Amino acid sequence: MKPFRVILYYFYAPIENTETYRDEHHLFCVENNLLGRIIIAPEGLNGTVSGTPEDCEAYMNYIRSDERFKDVQFKVDDHDEIAFQKLHVRVKDEIVNSDLNVNPLVRTGKHLEPSELKSMMQDPDVVLVDMRSDYEHEVGKFKGAITFDMHNLRELPDHIHEIEHLKDKKIVTYCTGGIKCEKASAYLLEKGFTDVYQLHGGIIRYGLEEGGEDFDGKCYVFDNRITVDVNQVNPTVISRCYICNDPCDRMINCANAECNTHVPVCHKCGEEMEGACSPECKAHPNKRVYDGTGYYVSNSNHYNPLQGMKSLKKTLKKLKLAAKEQA
């Protein structure tokens, strides 16, 4: 067993007092040494947190002890170190940015267990559709899956025409942990697709429970691991180094803070280009110091997660007062 864990989860359930719950949630994470990103919205929870196995277990028990979230499903992965440098617990309008006028609690695609997907993939009438961003599926995707050239889920309506001819097929949507598909599959149903499924628990759960067979490449994740292995059965590399074009499944963020593009870059080119994606970015005055990982966090300045919550509340209070004065 590795010394730390990374937990990925989401759950749609109404939350009335989001600000109060955010403070309570943040304090629990502080008291249990957990770092990560958690979004609280009127429609539910979405989070990735990291800590020791004991602290992560306490967190899962904390979430499930709330009647609203007792059925939440956690994807748990072991890791050599804590996968975050900070703790952010934020209130937002949605737990995944989409701007799609759908409610997964009313109607969504049929949940498909990883074992069911494995057998369904042999059906010629099944079409897998990737609902992730372009830089995510560039480094890894299911074999034969349809992908869209979109940067976020808000752009999905611009790409529906690309699969209009498949309305009578069995459409299986998938994403990293399942959350985007709750809304994406609901949107497909709204648009007249008749037989829509979603991979329950996403790519991560499929890898953990079914060995990741026929998932080509790696899975992009939103923490300092950047990508993780999924396929333990027939792994392959599908992406190429952005600079030299050699096969490469190692993702970085460009060292130029004003660029920050997500691209595959091999170790050799990473060192030669000092983490930049182009000569222009290498020479840019805002280029960050490359440490070999291609993952950057803002300056912590002796960051304290409890103080971070207090500072956020102070800032929000000032903004509310300013809004009242302007009104």
Q: Please spell the DSSP secondary structure of 241-306, one letter per residue.
A: -TTT--B---EEE-SBTTT--EEE--HHHHHHTTT-SSHHHHT-TTBPPP-SS-------SS--HH
**Using an 8 Å Cβ cutoff, are 205 and 228 in contact?**
no
Q: Which of 26, 201, 39 is nearest to 114 (CA)?
A: 201
Length in residues, the chain: 327
Q: Which of 147, 130, 40 is nearest to 89 (CA)?
A: 40
Q: Give exposure, 20-48, as e/b (b: 16+ Cβ within 10 Å).
A: ebbbebbeebbebbbbbbbbbbebbbbbb
| Residue 230, phi then psi, degrees to nearest 5 | -125, -50
- CA quadruple 22, 23, 24, 28: dihedral sign: positive
d(CA 190, CA 310): 42
Q: Which of 175, 241, 248, 281 is catalytic?
A: 175
| Residue 305, phi then psi, degrees to nearest 5 | -60, -30
CA 208 vs. chain centroid, Å, equals 16
Residue with tokens 């947190």: 49
**Using an 8 Å Cβ cutoff, are 228 and 206 in contact?**
no
Is 175 a residue of the active site? Answer: yes
Report, as residue numbers or ranges, the catalytic residues: 175
